[in-house]
Each structure stands twice: as C-alpha cells, then as structure tokens.
Amino acid sequence: MNEIPVLTIALLVPLLGAAIIMGLPATQDKWIKGTAATSTLVSLILSIAVLLAYDRAAGGMQFVETIPWIKDLGVNYALGVDGISIPMLLLTNLIGFSSIYASWNIADRVKEFFALLLILIAGVMGTFITTDLFIFFLFYEVVVIPIYLLVIMFGSTKRVSKEYAGMKLTIYLLIGSAFLLAGLIALFIQAQAISGVPSMDMAFLATLEYSTSFQIIVFAFMAFGFGTLLSMFPFHAWSPDGYAGAPTAVSMIHAGVLKKIGGYGLIRIALTILPAGAAVIAPIIAVLALGNIVYAAYICLSQKDLKYIVGYSSVSHMGYVLVGIAALNLISINGAVIMMFAHGVMAALFFAMIGNLYEKSHTRNIEDFGGLAHQMPKLTAGFMIAGLASLGLPGMVNFIGEFTIFVGAFGTYRVITILAISGIVFTALYVLRALGRMLFGPRNEKWDHLQDLKGVEMVPLVVLGLAIFMGGFLPFTLMDLITNGVRDLIAQIGMLQIGGLL
Amino acid sequence: MDFSILGAEILIALLGLAVLVLGLSLPGKAQKYVNGLALTGLGLVLIYLIISFSKGANLFNGVYQIDLYGNYFKILFLSAGILVMLMAGTYIKRFEEKSSEFYGLMILATLGMMLMVSAGEFITLYVGLELMTISFYILTAYLKSDKLSGEAGLKYLILGAVSSAILLFGISLVYASLGTTNFIEIGASFTSSSAVIAGVVMIIAGFAFKVSVVPFHMWTPDIYQGAPIPVTTYLSVGSKAAGFAALVRVFMVAVDVSDPVFNWSLLLAVLAAVTIIIGNLIALSQKDIKRLLAYSSIAQAGYILVGVTAANSFGLKGVLFYALIYVFANVGAFAVATAVEVDTGRTDIEAFAGLSKRSPLLAAIMTICMLSLAGIPPMAGFAGKFYLFAGAIQSGYLWLALIGLIMSMVSVYYYLGVSKAMYIGENSYEAPLSLGSGSTVALWVCVLATILLGVYPGPLSELAGAAIQILL
C-alpha cells in the first residue's frame, strides 16, 4: 500500500467538494459552482490517468486497495479496476464533469443542488470501482435519495408532476433493489455455508460451486433488480417519466451512467458468480430485451416531448445491451460494455442539449420548434452528433457497440438478433424525424431571441462530443481494454466453450 | 456479597427516589437543579456501566443475571434516557411546575427496563415490566390540561393491564406444568404439553403487546399521539427495546425453539411478516407525524422480530444492533418533531413544510434519521437490516426476508413524504426554529451515530456479537 490510492482519491474528492459546498454561505454562487467543477475535474483527470496507466499486458484488477471493514460479514473496503470498470469510471466522470456545466445556470438553491449532485456522482463512481459486494450495494442505494431530492426540488412538471416522477423513479428502483439485496444476502449465506468463511469479495464468491437450482433462483432475483435499473421491459416505466421530471444534470447522470450500473452488475456480479443460473435465465432476458428494442422504439415514434423521446430511446438502446449480455459470449459482452459507454455519452449529450434549449425556450415540444439551425448552429451540431450517434452512424462509438453486439449475438439468438437489428430502422426514423422537424426548415421568427451555446455551455458538447468521435474513430482505445476485462471474466467462469465463437 | 455488581441498578433506584423527593421538597426555582441532577446522575451511571461492561455474575440462585447481554441493553436504555431528557428540554415548559417528577418517573421506567433485561426468572421479569409500564402510564397522561394525553393514559392503563394479565396467566401455566419460574430450569425440562404451549403463546402475546407487534398493536397510534413527545420517544425506543431484550432471553434460554411438536419460529415469523406488512401499509396514509412514527415503530418491531425468529448469530446480532441504532434514528426524528411542535403547536406533516428553508440542518437531520429507519445506506439502519435479514435467510426464511426488504422499500414512500414537505412544501412560517442547547446536543449525537454506525458498523457489531454469546 505504498502507492497513492488513486481510486480512493477520485472517490472522495467529490464528497469533499460536497462537504465544502455545505460549509459555504448560500449566496456564494460562484464559489459553489467553482468547487463543484474543480472536484469533478480532479476525478476526471484521475480516471483518465487510470485509463492510461492501466497495464493492459498484465490485465486483471489493478490499483487495488483493501481495508478490512466489517469482520463478521467479511466486508472489505476493496477498490480495484479492470477492463470493464475503467470505461465505466471514465464515463461517470465525463458525464459528471459535463453535468456540472450543464447546470451552470441554476440560480435557486445552488448550494443544495451542487452538494447533492456531487454526492450522486461519488455514489455512482463507487459502484464501478469496488470489488466488494457489500460496498457495491451500499453505493448502489446511496444514489437513490439524492436523485429523489434533486428531482422534487429542481425538476420540471410537464406531462407528469415532478413529485410523481421522483417518487416513481425512487420506488421502482428500490423495489428492484429489494430483490437484489435478498439475492445478495442469500448468496452470502450460501457461500459461507460452502466455504466456512464469511466473504463479500466478488472474485472469491465466483470461485465457489453453487447448486444449479440455487443459482437460478438467485440469478433471477438479481436479474430483476439489475433489470429494473437497466429499465428492462416490462420494468421500464420509471425511466421516461423519471427523465422527463428530472433536472438536466440528473437526467444526464441517470440515463448516462446510473442505468449502466444495472448492466455492469449483471456482467460483473450475476454472470460471473452464477454462470449456470445465467445460462438458464439468459434466453428469457433476450426475449424481454426484444420488448425493449421494438416496443420502446414504437412508442418513440408517437412522442412529442423531446425528453420522452430520449427517455424511450434509452429504454430501447438498453435492449441492445441486454441482448449482448444474454448471448453470453466474449464478443457480445464486449459489445454490451462498449454500448453502455456509447449510450452513456450520447444520452448525456442529448439531455444536456435538451436542457439548454428548454432553459431558454421553456418548451420541449418538438412541434413548437422549426429551423433552429438558423438561430442556434452550435446547439444544432450538438443535437446532430447525439442523434446520429443514437442511430448508430459509423464513425461514432455507438456504431461500434451495436455492431459488436449483433456479431456476437447472432450465433446464439438468430431470430432475436435479426429483429433487434430492425430496431435500428425505427431509431433512425424517430430520431431523424424529430431532429429534422426541430432544427431544419424555414427560420421561425418566434425563436430569434434564443442565444446559441456560449462560454461554459459549450463544455458538455465539447467533452461528450469528443468522447463520441474518439470512441468511433479510434475504437481500439477502449476496445482492447474491454476485451481484456471480459476475457478475464469469461476465463474465470469457463464459458469460452459455451460462447462457441472463439 | 459484592454490591458493586448491582451498582448501576442501586444507583438508578436511589437517583430516581432522590429526584422525586427533591422535586417535591425544593422550592419552584430550584427545580432546574433537580433536572440537572437527573441528567448528570444518569450520565455517571452510564459511564459506570461502560467501565464495568464485561462484569458478569449469577445472583440469588439465577434470579438475576449480570452478563454482557444485559449490560449492552442497560447501556442502550441509559443512552436513550439521556438523549430523551436532553431533547425534552424545550418541551418541558408545558409541564409547568411538574418537570422534576417527569424526570423521576423517567428514571424509574429506566430502572424497570434494566430489571427486565437482567431477570433470570419470570417473577423478577414481571416486576421489572410493571415498574416500567406503570411509570409510563403516568408519563403518558402527563399533560394534564390536554384531553388527548389523558385519554391516551387511560387507554394505555386499561390495555396494558389486560396484557399484563395475559402475560401473568401464561407464566402461571408454565409454572404449573414445569414447577419452576427460572428460565434455565424451564429450558432444561421443556416439554410441549398443551398447557406449556398455551402458556408460552400467552407470554408471547404479552410481550407482543409491549413491543407493539400486530395484532396486539392497536394501542400504539393513539398513545403515541396523545402522550407528550418525549414520553412517546422513550416509549418507542426504550420500552420496545426492553420488551425485545426480555423476549429474546426467554426464547433463547427457556423455550426449546427447535421443538418438533410446535414450530415456534414459524409462529414468530408469521407475526413478524404480518407486523411488517400492516405497520408499513397503514403508515402510508398517515397525516400526523406522531401517528406516522407510531405505525413506523410497529413496522420496526416487525423487523426486529425477524431477528428473534432467526434465532441465530446473525439474527440476534441484528436485534441488538438494530435496537441501538433505532434509538438514534427515532430520537433524532422525534427531536425534530418536538422542535416543530414547540414552534408551531402542530404535529401534522404540513407543519414541516418549508423546514429546509427555515432550518436546513433540521431538515437534513430529519431526512437522515428517516432514511435510517427506512434502511437506506449509508445510514445505520441498512447495516442493522442486513444482519436481521441475513439471519432470516440463514434460518431458511427467504420469504420473510423478501417481505421485509420489499416493505422497507415501500416505507421509503412515507418517510420521504416528510422530506418532500420539508424540501418543497410551503407554509406561512418563516423564522428559523429555535433549539435548546440540550436538543442540539441530542440531535448531533443522533445524526453522527446514525451515519458513523452506518458507514463503519464493524465495532458495534463485534460488541453485539460478544453480547449474544451467552444465548447461543
């Protein structure tokens, strides 16, 4: 432990920022925003450093930190990152950093807003960098309450009230987490019965042999818990309403990274520890995923509110991730991870642009707009990048994700994959229709007073746009890393043969 | 005989009597010194108990047991008592000239709890229980000019007397069948004759009343609402913990849980499940903070009962752990409610509207305490529930754990309802709330303990683990 605990620092800096903000007087807007921006910037730099310093040849868990925490439960404060968690860590901080700037114009209750937002960012980060099941769950639930408070205090009431949206979001996720927790405890008890020592270490739990029936039950519990968070059909109803009610920063973080905890948990915990259960339940997940892809895309076609379009489209995109996970092979899981990253930056950019537009025009109804490209060229560029990424245009990171998933999944689920690919057509349809209606066409005099993006408002566009193109043109920057992580994981559970594609 | 072993009990008894006598004999203005004496005295006894924590003895042929288990709970009662007295500071003005008797009765109730948890046989247990309950009858009706308080006192008296009678009947049935009231001797000769089964069922019913387990919970909301808030608080944390402490000792020592004839643990499991479900569901529709916390305390009793059902290391550790952190969370929540009631004279949830603007700290503390009650990490309630439900799953009650977990997530709805009022509600009150120094101290202790024990529960769980060794 002579090395610098990089991960702990990255985790604690936002919390420290939150503590400082709570101590600042409420009138010091500039200082509060500055503190928030600085602390997320530090975390972002640290996570880029981790990405660069990670030894790809060696692989496995690196930057490991372990401190015994609760003895009788075998809990350690254990941090570590591998090829799967680094992209997620990076994603969290990219979006966290951008979300601060996307909320730069908040004027009321600034102090509460940024303190809660920083706690939220730290909580999300924690889930991705811990290797201990208990600590994972701790962070997983820590994020729920700041989100609730942020939604009811700073959200917007349109089709549903923000109170309703906040509570729906919270209760859905908590009920899901109840099943998850029941599964985790059952796993812990069973592992203790088998091995004789209490342990919450994910890697250790994965080495034990559980009976198949046990694995199926616990995997089902976890799939329900994680699936709810990932807005798996039919447990997705919280997602569009929640995003619509939430303030911009929360929509960005929620759709961008928080949802991904569900996919990450499925891969890192459920799949790794309970492979036999996964083999039985995966086909069910694949079928449900089709519900996500096709059903949510259909709904998108009839939406008029921008946030609902992106909300349902994120439900639809999560279907691809689920198909990737359910196909249970190296390529498809690779694709699922890269897709989570890709969708994260894309959705966050989308919500940042919508938030900016809504702030200025006080409407999100696409039919109210037209020809915005005349008044707001930069905003239009942002919308177009996000939109084209969303429909999987080559050159953007999303294309890499979708393509990899389809290649990986085709061998396992032919019909489902073909149907899933058809989802891309719908996506193109609703995205292009909405953006075309809004951004192009004759100039609308009504919106002449709108100011284009300027100053700090550009930060989300630049940061997230860059990530989209970087991932698209130089996919190997992340792809190698992810392959590394997924290969380790699959080797550990001996599924290479099941996959059959390597 | 070495009386220092009984030091805590003797000192508390003397302190209670001294406070009562001094309160009567001293002139009005000197009353506040009596109150100070009560607090200091309790604080000193608490320190004494912590120092002599590891002492153990078997007194009077097993009638009275001094052990880690008992000492753990005694520390809990004293801490709760001190916190409640601290937070009562601003409220106490309503008692007019009678504040010292309030302290005296609180101390005597504490003594009753201490006797209950150390009792090694039923008669002593019963005496302790009655000492506690009778003190609470008076305390409940302490607001003389308030009709609700008087009504609550009378209700509590009548229903409490009935439940005591049932408990006594149960004890007599057990004594008649087995010829002893000593827990260890009962445990050694336990047979599942129908008389013994009926007796133990009645004993369970008696305890279930005290800790407000469904279907014996009917008294709880009315009495919680009518009683002065500090009394409600102590009733909810102290009386409940004492009931559970005694119940666990009876069950682990006297009753053969793995009895093939009668499935005791299934009986407890069903009671726990029903309690959790009904408590939480009724709490959903409450508009008054006291009634809300009353139903929440019913649900909390259900969670603790899950640990008793499990009757294994995790479950019992959970009972001890949860009972303590419940003190902090509940006292914290009630302390904020007290501050609001003193300021606005209201106890409905609307009165909390806008609190986050008036007193941001109070709103944050209320939210944290509520979240701990709901079992959301990183508050202490989560670690407590983790132990309780881990115990249940280890004993094969996956369904019970699932019910408990789902209902605790449902409970978030009503706990957050209060937060919602505080953070986005609006009403006509604007000035910041004033807090006495005592309440401030109590609030900080509660909120820090709630967070620290949630983030780093290791040491406390080891302590709880050591305390239950004697029962396993």
Q: What number is the average pLDDT over the span A434-451?
A: 85
Q: Is the pLDDT of residue A355 over 60?
A: yes
Using DSSP bridges, classify how beta strands B57-59 and B64-66 pair: parallel, antiparallel or unpaired. Answer: antiparallel
Q: What pLDDT, in 10s, does the model give residues B302-361?
A: 999 999 999 888 999 999 999 999 999 999 999 999 888 888 888 888 888 888 888 888
Q: Is the peptide bond before B459 cis (omega within 30 degrees of 0)?
A: no
Angle between helices B437-455 and B380-394 in degrees, nearest 10 = 50
Q: Does B408 touch chain A if contact means CB atoms closer than 8 Å?
A: yes
Looking at A22-26, B296-300, B316-320, which range is the least confident one?
Answer: A22-26
CA separation (Å) from A397 to A354, A371, A392, A465, A467?
Answer: 21, 28, 8, 10, 8
Q: Do A174 and B461 touch (CB under 8 A)?
A: no
Q: Does B198 touch chain A if contact means CB atoms closer than 8 Å?
A: no
pLDDT confidence of residue A227 = 92
Q: Band of the pLDDT at A496, cuts 50, 70, 90?
A: very low
Domain parsing of chain B, residue ranges: 263-472
Q: Which candidate from A72, A170, A179 shows the least CB-CB separation from B416? A: A170
Q: Does B413 touch chain A if contact means CB atoms closer than 8 Å?
A: yes
Which of chain B's residues have a Cβ under 8 Å away from the Cβ of A71? Answer: 458, 462
Q: What pLDDT, in 10s, does the model give residues A372-398?
A: 888 888 899 999 999 999 888 888 888
Q: Is the pLDDT of residue A26 over 90?
A: no
pLDDT confidence of residue A108 = 83
Angle at A371 between CA A369 and CA A375, to 5 degrees: 100
Q: Does A51 touch chain B if contact means CB atoms closer than 8 Å?
A: no
Residues 6+ apart with CB under 8 A from A124: A92, A96, A139, A143, A253, A257, A258, A261
Residues B442, B87 contacting (CB under 8 angstroms): yes
Q: Do B389 and A181 touch (CB under 8 A)?
A: yes
A-facing residues of B in 368-387 (CB < 8 A) are 371, 376-378, 382-383, 386
Q: Which candidate from A69, A149, A188 shows the least CB-CB separation from B423? A: A149
Q: What number is the average pLDDT over the span B110-139?
A: 93
Distance from B453 to chain A by nearest Cα, in Å?
11
More confident residue, B211 or A490: B211
Distance from B136 to chain A by nearest Cα, in Å?
37
A-facing residues of B in 446-465 (CB < 8 A) are 456-458, 461-462, 465
pLDDT confidence of residue A1 = 43
Best mutation target among B409, B411, B450, B453 (most A Cβ atoms within 10 Å) is: B409
Q: Which candidate from A141, A149, A152 shows the least CB-CB separation from B377? A: A141
Distance from B373 to chain A by nearest Cα, in Å?
14
Which of chain A's residues have a Cβ under 8 Å away from the Cβ of B360? Answer: 112
Q: Is the pLDDT of residue A497 over 50?
A: no
Q: Do B402 and A178 touch (CB under 8 A)?
A: yes
Q: Band of the pLDDT at A499, cuts 50, 70, 90?
A: very low
Minimal Cα distance from A168: which residue of B? B413
Q: Band of the pLDDT at B57, cuts 50, 70, 90?
A: confident
Which of chain B's residues have a Cβ under 8 Å away from the Cβ of A200? Answer: none
3-state secondary structure of A315: helix
Q: Which candidate from B371, B393, B409 shows the least CB-CB separation from A177? A: B409
Label residue A289 left, alpha or beta by phi (over 0 means left) and psi (-120 to 50 means alpha): alpha
More confident residue, B108 or B94: B108
Q: What pLDDT, in 10s, does the model give residues B190-212?
A: 888 889 999 999 999 999 999 99
Distance from B262 to chain A by nearest Cα, in Å?
26
Q: Which candidate from B360, B383, B412 shows the least CB-CB separation from A174? A: B412
pLDDT confidence of residue A495 = 53
Q: Band of the pLDDT at A340, cuts 50, 70, 90?
A: very high
Which of chain B's residues have a Cβ under 8 Å away from the Cβ of A178? Answer: 402, 405-406, 408-409
Q: Do B317 and A72 touch (CB under 8 A)?
A: yes
Q: Do A185 and B461 touch (CB under 8 A)?
A: no
3-state secondary structure of A87: helix
Q: Does B261 touch chain A if contact means CB atoms closer than 8 Å?
A: no
Report the share of chain B in percent with pLDDT over 70.
99
Q: What pLDDT, in 10s, does the model give residues A70-129?
A: 888 889 999 999 888 999 999 999 999 999 988 888 888 888 899 999 999 999 999 999
CB pairs under 8 A between A and B: 88
Q: Does A144 touch chain B if contact means CB atoms closer than 8 Å?
A: yes
Q: Does B409 touch chain A if contact means CB atoms closer than 8 Å?
A: yes
Residues A488, A60 contacting (CB under 8 angstroms): yes
Distance from A73 to chain B by nearest Cα, in Å?
9
pLDDT confidence of residue A491 = 78
| DSSP letter string, A111-175 | HHHHHHHHHHHHHHHHHHHB-BHHHHHHHHHHTHHHHHHHHHHH---SSS-HHHHHHHHHHHHHH
Minimal Cα distance from A182: which residue of B? B402
C-alpha B221/C-alpha B207 separation (Å) is 17
Distance from A214 to chain B by nearest Cα, in Å?
12
* Token pair in block for residue B453: 């024990």
Q: What pLDDT, in 10s, does the model give residues A262-276?
A: 999 999 999 889 988
A-facing residues of B in 336-365 (CB < 8 A) are 356, 360
Q: What pLDDT, in 10s, does the model give residues A188-228?
A: 999 999 988 888 888 888 888 888 899 999 999 999 999 99
Q: Does B472 touch chain A if contact means CB atoms closer than 8 Å?
A: no
Looking at A70-79, A156-165, B34-43, B256-265, which range is the least confident one?
Answer: B256-265
Q: What number is the average pLDDT over the span A470-486?
A: 83
Q: Do A69 and B456 touch (CB under 8 A)?
A: yes
Minimal Cα distance from A174: which residue of B? B409
Q: Is the pLDDT of residue A440 over 50?
A: yes
Q: Do B376 and A141 touch (CB under 8 A)?
A: yes
pLDDT confidence of residue A441 = 83
Best mutation target among B399, B412, B455, B462 (most A Cβ atoms within 10 Å) is: B412
In which residue are the tokens 């001797």 written? B185
Average pLDDT, chain B: 90
Q: Band of the pLDDT at A500, cuts 50, 70, 90?
A: very low
A66: β partners: A78
Which of chain B's residues have a Cβ under 8 Å away from the Cβ of A141? Answer: 376-377, 382
CA separation (Å) from B29 to B93, B142, B441?
Answer: 13, 20, 24
Q: Alpha-carbon Rg of chain A, whole angstroms?
A: 21
One-letter amino acid for residue A191 of the chain: A
Q: Band of the pLDDT at B175, cuts 50, 70, 90?
A: very high
Q: Does A429 touch chain B if contact means CB atoms closer than 8 Å?
A: no
Minimal Cα distance from B425: which residue of A? A153
CA separation (Å) from B60 to A419, B124, B149, B244, B252?
Answer: 80, 11, 40, 24, 21
Q: What number is the average pLDDT over the span B419-445?
A: 85
Tell which residue, B134, B304, B154, has the closest CA to residue B222: B154
Q: Do A185 and B416 touch (CB under 8 A)?
A: no
Q: Do A185 and B390 touch (CB under 8 A)?
A: yes
pLDDT confidence of residue A494 = 64
Which of chain B's residues have a Cβ under 8 Å away from the Cβ of A177? Answer: 409
C-alpha A326/C-alpha A411 separation (Å) is 12
pLDDT confidence of residue A392 = 85
pLDDT confidence of residue B99 = 77
Q: What pLDDT, in 10s, does the model give residues A143-170?
A: 888 899 999 888 888 778 888 888 888 8
Q: Is the pLDDT of residue B429 over 80?
A: no
pLDDT confidence of residue A245 = 87
Minimal Cα distance from B360: which residue of A? A112
Report the share of chain A in percent with pLDDT over 70.
98
Tell which residue, A150, A149, A129, has the closest CA to residue A139: A129
| DSSP letter string, A354-407 | HHHHHHHHS--BGGG---HHHH-HHHHHHHHHHHHHHTT-TTSHHHHHHHHHHH
pLDDT confidence of residue B323 = 94
Minimal Cα distance from A137: which residue of B? B377
pTM score of the predicted model: 0.91
Which of chain A's residues have a Cβ under 8 Å away from the Cβ of B386? Answer: 73, 134, 181, 185
B57: β partners: B66
Q: Do A145 and B376 touch (CB under 8 A)?
A: yes
